[in-house]
A and B are shown apart, each in its own frame.
Chain A
Amino acid sequence: MAFEDQRTTVYKIDPAHPESETLPTLRTEELLLNMGPQHPATHGVLKVILELEGERLVKSTPVLGYLHRGVEKLAEDGTYHQFIPHTDRLDYVCAMYNNFAYCRAVEKLMNITVPDRAEYLRTIVAEVQRIIGHQFWLGTQALDIGAMTVFFYCFRDREILMDWFDELCGARLTTSWYRIGGVERDFTASLLDKLKQFLDYFPPKIDEYQVFLETNRIWIGRTKGVAIISAEDAVSFGLSGPTLRGSGVDYDLRKAQPYSAYPKCEFSVPLGKNGDTYDRYWIRVLELYESVKIIRQCLEQMQDGPIMADVPSVTLPPKQRVFTNLESMIQQFKLFSQGFDAPRGEIYCGTEAHKGELGFYIVSAGGGKPYRLKIRAPSFIHMGAFDHMSRGYMISDAVTIFGTYDIVMGECDR
C-alpha cells in the first residue's frame, strides 16, 4: 500500500531525459488509508482514516461510534440503582472504577456520606482495579509494538487478581460490586489473605516487566520520542490521567479533589518530563508501586464497621435481610423498581480512573430516574488529540499512539 506512494513522491525523472516520454507519468498525490475498524491494534472497533505522504502521517481522522450503544439514553429510562451494571460495560477492562465513579456521583447528588470501612474497601478495590488496568495496558501496548513476552507475564499476574475479583463478587470483568452508599459485601478472611499475599508477590514482578521492556531496543526505539505532546496542548485538549501527567502536568483527582480514603493515605503522583510514549509508560509503572503502597496503608488503617450508609430511602438493605425480612424485601423491591426520589439539581463528579478523569454529569428533575446523564469518558476525549499527536510520525507509530491512550472503545463510544 504505502511503498507505491513512497516511490512516486521521492524520485521524479528529469523531463529533459529522452526516456521521460516513454515512461508513465508519476503520481504524487497523498494516499488515503483506512486503518480499522477490524485492525487488531485498535483495541476494539476504531477506524482512523490516515492521509499519508509516503509513510508519514499528514492528517488522521478518527471515525468513532462502531460500539455506540446509547448508554446515556438508556440511563434516562432506568432508576439510579439499575444503571450500575451499565457502567461495567463502559470501560470493560476497568469495571470497578466505573462503578465507583458512578456511585460517587449519585452519592454527591443525594448528599450521602459513606461509612469509613466502606471507603477503605472501595479504595482498596479501586486500586486493585488500577493495577489490573495498568497490567492490561502494559501487556497489550507492548504486544502491539511487537514485544510479546511481557504480555504473558502481565496476564499471568492479572489472572490472580481476576480470580480475586471472582471470589469477591462472582464476576471477573463486569463486576457491579459498588453500591450507592457503600459496597455490596465485605472482604472475607480468605480474600484478605490472598490480597496480602499478592502485595508481597507483586512488586518484584513489576521489576520483571521493566527488565523485559527496557532491555528491548526495538520497544525503546518505538516509544521514546513518539507521540510527544506539550503540557499546554495536553491541558487544552482536556487529556487526563497518565496521558496528561506524562507531559508533566500535576493533575491527579486523587490529590486535587481528594475523595474516599485517598486523603488518609500517603502516595506520590509520578510526573513525566518529555510527554512522549515512554514517559507515559514510566508513569504507569510507577503508579503500580504507588497502588501497592495505597492498598497496604488501607489494609493497616481499616477498622471494623458498617459497609453501607444508613439511609433507608436510598441505600439497599443487606442481602441477608432481604431474604428473611419482609420490610427489607419491600424496600429492595421499591428501590429497584421505582427508585428513590432525587432532589432537583445537577452535579458533576469526576473520579481518577486509571485511564484518566471519568466523570458523571447528572441532571435530576426529581423522581427516581436521572433526567440526563452525561459520561465524561477519557478515551473519547483522548481521541480528540489523536490527529494532533500523530502528525509527522510514521504509519506504524499510529499503533503506538492508540496504545499510549490506553483506549477502550466501550468507553469511547458509550
Chain B
Amino acid sequence: MLLQELASRLQDDFSAALVKTVEWRGELAVTVMRDRLHEVAQFLRNDPAMDFDYIVHVSSVDWPDDEERFEVVYEFYSIRKRHQIRLKTRVPESDCVVDSLTDIWKGADFMEREVYDMMGIRFRNHPDLRRILLPDDYTEGYPLRKDFPLRGKGWRDTFEFLDETAR
C-alpha cells in the first residue's frame, strides 16, 4: 500500500486519535494520542490491508523543553505487504506510562524493557518490566535522558586518585 493510502486510511478510521502525520524521506510517521496507542496498534496488526506483522524497533526520544517530554517510537513493517510505518506517542514526565504492546508483538518485550531502562518510561501490562542493560539495582537514573551527564554521575567522582607524580 502506498504511504498516502496508509495515511488516509488511518485518518478515516482514527481521526480523533491522530495528532500528527508526517511523511519525510519516504517514511510515514504517525503520532497518536497516548490512550489510543494500543487500539491503533491492534488495528495495524489485525487489519488485512495493514497487516503489520513485524516489529522493527521500539525507541524513545527526550525533548526536555516540551510540555509532553518523552516520545515513544514504534516502528512496524509488513513482510507480506512490504510497507513500513512509524507510530509515535508523547508522554509527560509526571506520568510517563504507555500501554505495552507485548500482547500484540512478542518481540516488544525486550525492546520495551530497553526503553524503560534507558529512558524511564513505564509500560502498563508489561509482563516483566525490569532493567535490562543496566544492573537491577542501578539508582542513578536513566542514562539516555538529556539531563543525564555524558560522563555519568555519582561513583566516578567519589574515587580517590593517588597522586603518583609528586614524588
Residues of A participating in the B interface, judged by any CB pair closer than 8 Å: 64-65, 68, 70, 72-74, 76-77, 108-109, 111, 233, 235-239, 249-251, 256-257, 345-348, 350, 357, 359, 361, 363, 371-372, 374, 376, 380-381, 383-385, 388, 413-414
Contacts and interface: CB of A to CB of B under 8 A. Distances in A.
Contacts of B133: 64-65, 68, 413-414
B75 A348 contact: yes
B106 interface: yes
A345 B79 contact: no
Binding site secondary structure of chain A: mixed
Nearest to B75: A348
Contact of B57 (A346, A359, A385, A413): A359
A385 B56 CA distance: 14
A372 B107 contact: no
A380 B110 contact: yes
Interface in B43-78: 53-57, 59, 61-62, 73, 75
A109 B24 CA distance: 10
A72 B73 contact: no
Contacts of A363: 61
Given A73-B144, A109-B25, A372-B62, A381 B110 contact: yes
Contact of B110 (A68, A233, A347, A383): A383
B134 A238 contact: no
26 contacts: A64-B132, A72-B144, A73-B143, A74-B150, A236-B106, A236-B107, A237-B105, A238-B55, A238-B105, A251-B79, A257-B82, A346-B86, A347-B24, A348-B56, A348-B57, A348-B84, A359-B57, A361-B73, A372-B61, A374-B73, A376-B56, A384-B109, A384-B110, A384-B111, A385-B107, A413-B133
A358 B56 CA distance: 10
Contacts, number: 97
A65 B132 contact: yes
A347 B56 contact: no
Contact of B25 (A70, A345, A371, A414): A345
Contacts of B57: 348, 359, 361, 374, 376
B144 A381 contact: no
Contacts of A357: 56
A357 to B, nearest CB: 7
A47 to B, nearest CB: 12
A348 B85 CA distance: 10
A250 B144 CA distance: 35
B154 interface: no
B109 A374 contact: no
Nearest to B138: A65
Contacts of A381: 107, 110-111
Contacts of B32: none
Interface in B137-165: 143-144, 148, 150
Contacts of B109: 384
Interface in B112-133: 114, 118, 131-133
A384 B150 contact: no
A236 B105 contact: yes
B29 interface: yes
B111 to A, nearest CB: 7
Nearest to B135: A65
A237 B106 CA distance: 5
A233 B106 contact: yes
Contact of A384 (B75, B107, B131): B107
B61 A371 contact: yes
Contacts of A350: 56
Contacts of B24: 345-347
Among B29, B57, B84, B109, chain A packs the most CB atoms within 10 A around the CB of B57
A381 B75 CA distance: 14
Nearest to B146: A76
Contacts of B39: none
Contact of B59 (A76, A109, A256, A361): A361
B13 interface: no
B54 to A, nearest CB: 6
A65 B114 CA distance: 10
Contacts of B110: 380-381, 383-384
A44 to B, nearest CB: 14
Nearest first, the 10 closest Cβ-Cβ pairs linking A and B are A238-B107, A384-B110, A65-B133, A374-B59, A376-B57, A237-B107, A236-B106, A68-B133, A238-B55, A372-B61
Contacts of B35: none
Nearest to A350: B56
Pick from A64, A235, A238, A249 the residue with the most CB of B within 10 Å: A238
A384 B57 CA distance: 12
Nearest to A376: B57
A249 B79 contact: yes
B86 A348 contact: yes
Contact of A111 (B25, B55, B131, B132): B25
Contacts of A77: 150
Nearest to B73: A361
B61 A348 contact: no
A414 B59 CA distance: 14
Contacts of A256: 79, 82
B111 A235 contact: no
